[in-house]
Structure 1
């Protein structure tokens, strides 16, 4: 290998944001100095792990080229990636063999289809809530403003709305309260197949859909996690606060702080719901998440009426909510000047769970991020670590876990940091670090309980130190020869006396031009003063003749 060779990553052109599972084109500009022909792999790395790579061929002599490399992210988050060329034997410097860049990978928007029979309060508040969610793309349809305006049963057949082709693009379907014949059997059959293939369906109970003439008369009957009461539906109208079951307290839709007992108390502090559709009981494969405090005399175990239940169907999931007044969690609190954050959180987390987004986030119990990807030496690096409370970690409930944060410097030193807990969020920690040198730094966050590693996550950031020229002050003959050829100049090694003498003798003899500066003061010149008096006199005469004085 020619000792004068040098490979460098000049720049990286990459979109700052992309969607998960979407291919992003990364343009990397590369340069090679030196006479040798070479073929090397260009890789895109994250925390030392190669994500994608391809070989790049350089011809003889100095060369520069732009390489397009495609990368398809598999998980959402904020990532620091590195475009890397491998160091070569006897390469002059390797500090320019890589370049870091930041990429935010966002999850696909959750496409939600909400079909409602009438314009009831539950529809109004839920539609507003989902419309404000930046991760939700909502499509809503309501048949009429009130029950009195329905003159013909089956105003909407639904066959043009719930086609297999359209359902293929939907992640979650919410069915409001309407009679069974509002949609035809082909729509229900398409919806059943869609759930079986992985869709998330939620039934928002009411007087129509959970009655004996409701969904039980459609192809969706097998999907329902509850048994419909015979002889007509009973409505329990008295206000109530539901009781979360053990499965409900562990469900991602009700996760807040990570402490199940504390979360249950928070949900119980919400305004009372008013009314529940009394279904007969639960199906064998279903799970009850919340119950009414009143015992259901039709159930074998005499437990409370079912408020929220779910069951898997094929690759999908079906959930039934028998209460239709969750809007009270928003309206009553807002009227009292309080936040409706728990109402927003319930529907946000339930929507994500129905769309199977929890299966993605469950893989990362911890998330660690920096405020930037590139820093100057001595500047403040702000680190943030967040724990996902929906991820259940091993150990006893309520047992406290400790966060350990470690910096790994470019020269393999280990620096422990003391993270500070966020007083407003028990699942968030912050720390700061001031790097004293340049290079690539790695950060490792570990969540420990009794010395056992529960979860860990890492990231990296780059610190600019000295300039590359100062990192390697040795001359670059190949580059200087290239500059001389390009500009029509000459090059000679300083130690090559004959070459230096020849270079000096070849310099053209240009005439020497000298300049001399001379200062003259004119403010006290008699000629200038007389000229000034003449101008003032002429002005006075002109004004006098024109009667301006």
Structure 2
């Protein structure tokens, strides 16, 4: 037997991944950057180890390198796809038998990738990941970006078009920013916006702009930080000549406010009001139960801009009515639900109508009557006095009533920004005494997500603020709830005969609600800004009332001097045609719908560059992320002031001893017997066949 020992000369194989993205190359306050720190650590504490190092660098992609040095990106700014590239690198280590992965990074992933896939890869691998974070403090670059801009492409002359802007700010914005809206190089709106210092954030900025004349109005929005212009983008609004707006007031019971609303809206100032009563209402003690439902058909509803539902109970609103109203709003109309009866409002909890409205109703009836006791007593007394008698008896009787108190509207921040209440301003400051006042209020449970509360109120001695007026977008239309009376006590008791405050409130509210529905064909865009490289979604609405069809139109897109034809496709809605437009860079695209070379509707879509500069905005190292991955993989986060303890964290491979044993078979008895048997067999075969 022979025995020998062989010692193998094996080396550890370690993959090293280095982050070379833009945030690694930003100089800190001492004219050094994170890349300098990484290279210093590499050359001073790692490179001398007698290991096999496979070296890689990454920003948006991974690439193999022969040595680590200062890597300058060809682009001014490059993104960091840390999650995706780290997952790829772990898979690579599994395939090439690396014992570990060392990663130099600041932990910043500026892409929109999810780390869920990375966590799955780490859990399925046995490769330990050692992070060496670079924690040098570097200044972030201030930034402001408009991510979304919502504005109607058309608006009636004399109205104000609401604008909703969604802006994003970096945590380096330390002072208020200034928003300026210009038209023909003249400032038409200016506002200072405060930014709270809670890191990178988004902020909604709402305002409205006047449309004084017919034609195309081109606006430029600019955002300044100090004297530096951070954002500039354009959009347009097509001013349309005034058209008559039709309203339907559908009532479930008589209301004192009806005649006052009719005085505001009935065939005056481009308003047209139809009043219908549910057949089940009671008048003068005579019930009309059993009459046929007189709610308009769907086609008839489409003639209206706004449906006002007043003093209805749940029994009076059938599923068919709810479905008609829902379709009406979804296609661009608006509904205003007025209910001041606490008991009746609770009936609508979990109803089909509630699904359309911006609030949810209480579902525990408290047995409250239509009005409180004081109001009921007052109305009972007044009902005995004819409202048409103007004699001394009537006046003395009215003066003798104990009148319930009135409560004033209290505007929320969103309400103060809405043009509905502009009539209550003096010198651009709201005057509380000019705001509407109500007597009856029906509490609701809460506002829905996405709803906007414009008015609320807190009664003395109560801790909860009750919603008075709330609105929300629903489909292409709007829904609103007014939980007070129709404000007739305010008009009768506090306003002088020559005051127009009551009229202005209702005109402004119904004008605002009806702004979304027009008889003239128009563009409908979710946002008039779109990120570069994406497609802007276009909709063109041809209302039935316009008496026009798709074949009447020619659609075109102008970008600079280049004009191209635009093709739209039918949608499920017979009135809506869809298309998309590829956005390239921060260019502007003018989109027009023409009939015989006459512009019927026009809008502008502005391209915005992708927010790849986020690499220079979120520069704080993400240590928590690195610790999570290191712990899951069996690795460790090693700070730059620590020594890399190879023997503890990644021991050197020991030589392998191979032992060989040799045993001679000729000395085994069974070998001898086998050989003899073979010789004997050969002898017998030869004898049988006479070969010997």
Give the TM-score taking structure 2 as reference length.
0.33
Between Structure 1 and Structure 2, the one with more strand by share is 1
| Relative contact order higher in (CA < 8 Å, ≥ 6 apart) | 2
**Structure of higher CA gyration radius:** 2
